[in-house]
Structure 1
């Protein structure tokens, strides 16, 4: 039976999340027919994920009634019929609320279907000499079969109404032996790897991801970003996202010969390794950037402002951003004045206040605090919402303030007089000291992250809540403003 000719290219969602059925234009005459079976640009315009196919497989089936499945493989598939006709059945075998959802359809050469990783695929041929084609985004290997999830074709819970009864169909013994749905172990989602998991942001990400089994955390002792061998020790095909919360953040030390080497090694060379891994394995890379990529001369710094770093730390962060921007799936999250669990400015001021010390604090550097709980929440929002890839400013909201303003508020919130804080200029504060240059204005507008559906909390409210928590007044003095 000839396929239907001249249908417009169109897409149709199904009851299984991520499974999409496509009508394909087929052009035919007395000689036969022709179609564009896969056309990346047009398919992407319809919303098909840019899933990066690397291998094409064809299953030829001599007789009508040949039935294969139900197999869920650890890769995405674009399935079409080269010749003949099939009855297709797809069952969601992924861990999650849609587990067990079923979709069936007849396919001829004028249709195709996209099947995400973990969705079980099965078909029954309705004509002799049917060829079933798979375009997949990973190379098949014998070892990969251990990651398959299977379901019995006759599973009662799925209730698939096979056109040719299974007792009359041609099945393999392996397919007959697959488990029923009640006995299927769902396919786990791909993993998220958090690097720098013992830093201020890393600890906040640990808390935000608490209870999620498929998130891995790696501190410096677990994963040395500067060691190329560390990148060879994982099967990166099993990862969906990498969150790089690791960085060299000793702003002043970066100006020394040894510090310069260390900053470039961690902030640029290591990031280059991560970018290569992410690109080769189609992983989303989340990279945390800094206000230090700018010189601070503008009133505020939108995401598309050209780099103008003043010191080595800022130069390395700008270089790292440039590297990550070449990764197809990336989020660069630019932040400032990070406050979390560990050494930071707020805890230093609280400690000074408790000890009765009246500090001199810079009053001509303006910005907003960023509390790590909000930074972590914003990163998770970008990943979970499918926001467009790119650069996002992410700090807390509210009126910008100077470091001296923040210090005065810390004194007030801890029961001391704000007047104990003396404001001084950056030049005066660092006179006769070895220090890196700092941007005077670090205000990052938040319009883009808000448009993506995330509203950061007010910095003043977060500061008050932060100082009401345990341990606010007993931290050692902070050496830098890193995350």
Structure 2
């Protein structure tokens, strides 16, 4: 008997992510009505905004019809339109809850959200039962499925009607026991731009796991057509875009301008569409160059962008595109130091070779080491910080490029007085070719990041360790 008048309520189960929902059903002498799926109300109550794309109905004539146990690589929202079922769910995902079991009855006043990888089965308790489920992906022969035998002794499901007497398919009877089941792995994480200095730091931070993939530009170029079908994107949970065109001065040339816009804006917009259409969390790395540097305080995440040059304009456009993806992190950083050629290594080399350089002293910011950016990105993902824009840089006192050069000279045993500070205008006065305008203030406010529990390292202290290493 369907219960009327219940409040919309979520009931957690022992299987992570598997949640029973009590549904309000309104009835009278004519019958009943319910909102079986109501996105605004249900997401506000805590149901994941899982993006269903298909609605399926399985009609069952007889009492005791039994189906399952099937685990698919998509989420399901299961309910009953007419009749009643005994439902059984077994966690078939990799992890500590593999093999966990939950059972309950479902009638029109109850539903259950079944996350990807949790095995689903049911047995009808009333005739003419209509079993309804929303899914957030289309069936594909390329998708990975996992099955468990309905009579598995380890799961030990207490079926209300003996499996010996019910209507059941031969295929379901032939599924493997739990000891022989291949667990469904986590959805994948993809790092784009894996050969860059940040990409290499992300490889060190994320490690070598089967569900983590790294792609170079040769393997996945955002500027080429066909990005939407370059991967089975529904299999991905997170995409981290560490690829970009970063030749700030080169972007001011006609050829560089076209390349910068293609890589930093058009390609990023295509990636944002992929993320939005496939429920992917997109992490995109941005820059202090989206600001003009005119403020006399650190830039916050909500300050309006106002880029000076082509590079900054393309990065700002990319940020705007990424913000259209429902699940996104835009990570703004500045003065990046990692593996390969960089300012710190150049200064150390000049000091060793006896060169006394002129270094800009009217641009102020903080160094940011790539392992700190990688660490910050992983923190945002694992802590499930609210989506949005976050500044990630080194901490401590803001300094100029000339100040950093003097620190490098001093810490490598050379006289810091060999550094001559000059203005940006004087430094580039005799330069050949186009020169991009630089923000004078590149200091980014770190309060929002620190409020998530992330520990910001002092940039000066990290510089010392970097030079020692």
Structure 2 distance, partners of 1:24, 1:419, is: 74
> TM-score, normalization: structure 2?
0.97
Q: Which 5+ residue runs of structure 2 have no aligned equivalent? A: none
| Cα distance in 2 for residues equivalent to 1:417 and 1:48 | 62
Partner of 1:442: 442
* 2:329 is the counterpart of 1:331: yes
Partner of 1:10: 9
Q: Per the alignment, in what secondary structure is the counterpart of residue 262 of structure 1? A: helix
Picking from 290, 295, 305, the partner of 1:293 is 290
1:207 and 2:204 aligned: yes
Give the equivalent residue in structure 2 for 1:106: 105
- Deviation per CA, 1:233-261: give whole Å up to 9, x if none: 32212111211101110111111111111
Contact in 1 for aligned 2:227/2:270 (Cα 8 Å): no
CA contact 1:228–1:273 (8 Å) conserved in 2: no
Check whether the contact 1:362–1:424 (CA below 8 A) recurs between aligned residues: yes
Q: Which residue does the alignment assign to 1:303?
A: 301
For 2:270, the equivalent position in structure 1 comes to 273
Matched, 1:96 2:78: no
CA distance in 2, matches of 1:165, 1:229: 51
CA distance in structure 1 between the partners assigned to 2:355 and 2:205 by the alignment: 35
| TM-score for both structures, normalised by structure 1 | 0.94
| Off by >2 Å, runs of 4+ in structure 1 | 229-233
1:166 alignment partner, SS class: coil
Q: Deviations over 1:46-92 (max 9, x none)?
A: 11111111111111111111111100011110000111111111111
Aligned to 2:468: 468
By how many angstroms is 1:231 displaced? 4.5
Q: 2:387 matched to 1:389?
A: yes
1:189 has 2:186 as partner? yes
Give the Cα–Cα distance (whole angstroms) in 1 for the partners of residues 163 and 207 of structure 2. Answer: 45
1:42 aligns with 2:49: no
- For 2:137, the equivalent position in structure 1 comes to 138
**Structure 2 Cα separation of the partners of residues 413 and 214 of structure 1:** 41
Aligned equivalent of 1:456: 456
Contact 2:79 2:131 in 1 (8 A): yes
Q: Please list the CA deviations of residues 268-327 of structure 1 after superposition, one character each: whole Å capped at 9, or x if unmatched.
A: 111121112112212111111000000001121101111111111111111111111111
Task: Point out where structure 1 has 5 or more consecutive residues left out of the alignment.
Answer: 470-483
1:232 CA drift (Å): 2.9
1:24-62 Cα shifts (integer Å, max 9, x gaps):
011112221111111111100111111111111111111
Secondary structure, aligned partner of 2:160: coil
Aligned partner (choices 226, 231, 235) of residue 234 of structure 1: 231
Q: Distance in 2 between matches of 1:18 and 1:326?
A: 26
Q: Is the 8 A contact 1:300 1:442 kept in 2?
A: yes
